[in-house]
């Protein structure tokens, strides 16, 4: 893939007859440079580092984007890993500017970061995916403690309004921006308002595990485990541990899987295992089972196929008929992260 797209505009996201590349404004553009950084970390091959540096630089302008909550996704995957692996201070400066941009979307009235700007359709929507963007703020809190407070308030609002008592989640909650009151709870990606969208559940597991890593607040660990246990105990979880696109999707088992949700879960579960005491082995074994499936011929594409993507059978947006049974760059990113975390546990 790297040879095929070199010198072309956009960054790869999925396929549409060929590798589907997105402009530098898309929420997925940080995952390709992030994946390159993981390949450098895994192999030590400086060619991956050099490529990661080139493609990370192509996302630099996103640090000034105040029109989306996805600043964390875009910047932390590329610039965050780049800083961690090289110590390059220019990466640090971009991340801090990005954190300042993301913080402008926080409302003290609502107690959350606004997700989408859709005037006339929704007032102040917040989606479960937004938990992932808090990592940038929590990292940046080393220079401004205000970012930590924003992240905690957002995580607590999400826990209170998006997470259900059984550990599952609504995809979206819409708040009244003037009063902070909830206007409605619904789905934009799932099968129904009361169903459980599988990648959203993966974001919840990962997001609250990450919150515990930074804060050591017990409520976040408890929530991460509740979200994980919901999946592990669900009767519609397939034997190979790669979930359907929604746990309550019509036509199960004759419906699409989502390998990207499985990859996010595997990575999150390895970290959750580190914090779970007597249950550590259970979560690690579950992560290993997912990786056995994802590294099998059923999901891992042969070299030279799949337009260069690693995983097959992802589901981007089933309801929108977009990227269904297709490779997804964010699936590959979290797959590589899970493999690196698995290898670290063997040392």
Specify whether the CB–CB gap between 205 and 269 falls below 8 A.
Answer: yes
Active site annotation includes 193: no
How many angstroms separate the CA atoms of 215 and 218, rounded?
Answer: 9
Specify whether the CB–CB gap between 108 and 150 falls below 8 A.
Answer: no
Cα within 13 Å of Cα(76), Cβ side = 16
Active site annotation includes 129: yes
* DSSP H stretches of helix in the chain: 2-5, 31-43, 46-57, 71-75, 81-86, 89-103, 134-140, 146-161, 198-215, 218-232, 259-274, 280-294, 329-346
Catalytic residue among 16, 70, 176, 193: 70
Nearest to 182 by CA among 135, 124, 228: 124
Specify whether the CB–CB gap between 55 and 11 falls below 8 A.
Answer: yes
Burial 305-331 (b: 16+ CB within 10 A, else e): ebbbbbbbbbbbebeeeebbebbbbbb
Pairing mode of beta strands 112-113, 106-107 = antiparallel
Catalytic residue among 50, 123, 129, 156: 129
How many angstroms separate the CA atoms of 289 and 342, rounded?
Answer: 11
Nearest to 98 by CA among 131, 128, 135, 126: 135
Classify the phi-psi angles of 308: left when phi > 0, otherwise alpha if psi is within -120 to 50, otherwise beta. Answer: left
Nearest to 131 by CA among 241, 244, 266, 227: 227
The residues annotated with a catalytic role in the active site are 70, 129
């Amino acid at each position: 893939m790297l040879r095929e797209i070199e010198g072309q505009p956009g960054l790869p996201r999925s396929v549409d007859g060929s590798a589907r590349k997105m402009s530098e404004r898309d929420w997925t553009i940080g995952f390709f440079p992030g994946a390159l950084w993981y390949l450098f970390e895994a192999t030590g091959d400086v060619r991956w580092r050099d490529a990661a540096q080139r493609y990370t630089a192509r996302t630099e302008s996103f640090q000034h984007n105040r029109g989306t909550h996805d600043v964390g996704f875009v910047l932390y995957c590329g610039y965050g890993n780049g800083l961690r692996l090289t110590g390059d201070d220019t990466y640090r400066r971009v991340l801090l500017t990005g954190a300042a941009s993301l913080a402008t979307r926080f409302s003290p009235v609502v107690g959350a970061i606004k997700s989408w700007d859709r005037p006339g359709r929704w007032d102040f929507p917040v989606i479960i995916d937004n938990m992932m963007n808090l990592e940038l703020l929590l990292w940046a809190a080393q220079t401004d403690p205000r970012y930590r407070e924003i992240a905690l308030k957002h995580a607590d609002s999400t826990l209170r309004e998006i997470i259900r008592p059984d550990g599952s989640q609504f995809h979206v909650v819409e708040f009244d921006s003037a009063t902070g009151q909830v206007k409605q709870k619904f789905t934009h990606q799932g099968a129904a308002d009361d169903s459980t969208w599988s990648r959203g559940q993966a974001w919840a597991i990962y997001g609250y595990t990450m919150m515990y890593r930074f804060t050591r607040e017990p409520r976040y660990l408890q929530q991460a485990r509740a979200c994980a246990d919901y999946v592990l105990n669900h009767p519609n979880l397939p034997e190979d541990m790669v979930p359907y696109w929604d746990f309550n999707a019509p036509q199960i088992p004759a419906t699409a899987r989502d390998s990207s949700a499985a990859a996010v879960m595997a990575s999150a579960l390895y970290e959750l295992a580190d914090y779970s005491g007597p249950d550590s082995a259970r979560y690690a074994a579950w992560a290993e089972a997912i990786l056995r499936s994802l590294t099998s011929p059923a999901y891992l594409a042969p070299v030279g196929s799949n337009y260069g993507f690693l995983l097959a059978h992802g589901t981007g947006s089933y309801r929108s008929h977009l990227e269904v049974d297709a490779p997804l760059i964010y699936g590959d990113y979290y797959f590589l992260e899970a493999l690196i975390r698995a290898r670290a546990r063997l040392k």
